[in-house]
Structures are given as structure tokens and as C-alpha cells.
Amino acid sequence: MEDSRGKKDQAFGIIVFLFFIALSYHHIALLNFHPNHYPSACFANGLQCMERVKLQMDFVFRASPAILYQFLTTPSCLVRWFCDEVDAGDDHFTFFWGESAETATIIDDIEAELLRLQWEEMEEEGEFLEFRISESPVTGETILELSDFCDADELDDQRKYWQKQISQLRVECGG
């Protein structure tokens, strides 16, 4: 009798211990929650999303700002470095990669200076894809400043992706 009571006490102790671990984990998760770091839709659906971060990269080109701008905005040039196919409307682009398509609204467009797009499926308000073009007053080289957003844990992959895409852009536009 004493032996079975000891096993019951031990099992009860393990259950209580696991309960307090689960409770502590839940409490810590609530303490670490910051509403500005996560999209509210994720928590409404019971999902915890990764923090979104801004990626900024600069690239130097020999091509003029006008030529570079053409490669960022013209469908026949975009398919040479960015996507498989593109449909351009007055205020949007629809990009196709294989069977998938994504539409981006043109937020800002200043010829040979700036192109800012917002993806329709953007998770966070205020996120955009931006290409800013300038010319170095010292060297005369064209500078392409890229801004994009991604999950914090995807930052390295996103950086590699853009390095690859911009390398192809550099080849296509002559440097």
C-alpha cells in the first residue's frame, strides 16, 4: 500500500512540476510581447510572428542613373534580372515567377531618382521595396540604394538574394 502511495505522490509531483514549467513559459512569453514588434493579425490568429526588420544595401554602378532607372521600371528590362514576366499598369506592377504572381503598387516614382513599391500582400503597414538612385559627385558613379523588409531571422538570406539579383542587374545594364 505504501509503495503505490509513493508512486502516486511521485506522479503528482511530476505533473505539478510540468504545470509550473508551462505556466512560467507562458508568463515569460507574455512579458516579452511588444505590440510594435509583431503584426496584430498574427496574435489574433494565435500565431507568434517574427520581428520585421529593414534591410538597406548600397550598390555602385557604371551605368547612368537614366539607364539604371529604365532597368527598374521597364517590363522588357525587369525580365532580364528580376522576374520571369511582368505586367505594368498605370500605378502597379504584377510580377510573375513561374506559377506565382505578386502585385506591387507604385508609391513613389521620380524618374532616374526613386522607385518605391508596396506589395499587396505586405504584412506590415509602412513596409516597402525602394530603389533610390544617385550619382557620386566625386567619382561620377551611380549609386543604387535598396531598402526592403523581411523577418529578422531571414535577414542574411534576403541580403544574399538581393546581392544575386543586383549582380544580374549589373551584368544586364552594362555595369
Residue 38: pLDDT over 80: no
Task: Give the per-residue pLDDT at 22.
Answer: 40
pLDDT band at 45 (very low <50, low <70, confident <90, very high): very low
Asked if 72 contacts 80 with a C-beta cutoff of 8 angstroms, the reply is no
Report field, pTM of the whole predicted structure over 0.75: no
pLDDT digits (tens, 9 = 90+) for 77-129: 999 999 999 999 999 999 999 999 999 999 999 999 999 999 998 766 789 99
**Is residue 11 included in any domain, yes or no?**
yes
Do residues 77 and 135 both lie within one domain?
yes
For 18, the domain range is 2-32
Q: What is the mean pLDDT of residues 142-163?
A: 96
Mean pLDDT comparison of 1-5, 33-37, 148-152, highest-scoring range? 148-152
Q: What is the mean pLDDT of residues 11-21?
A: 44
Do residues 11 and 94 both lie within one domain?
no
CATH at residue 114:
3.30.530.20
Element (H, E) at 87: strand 85-88
**Is residue 150 included in any domain, yes or no?**
yes
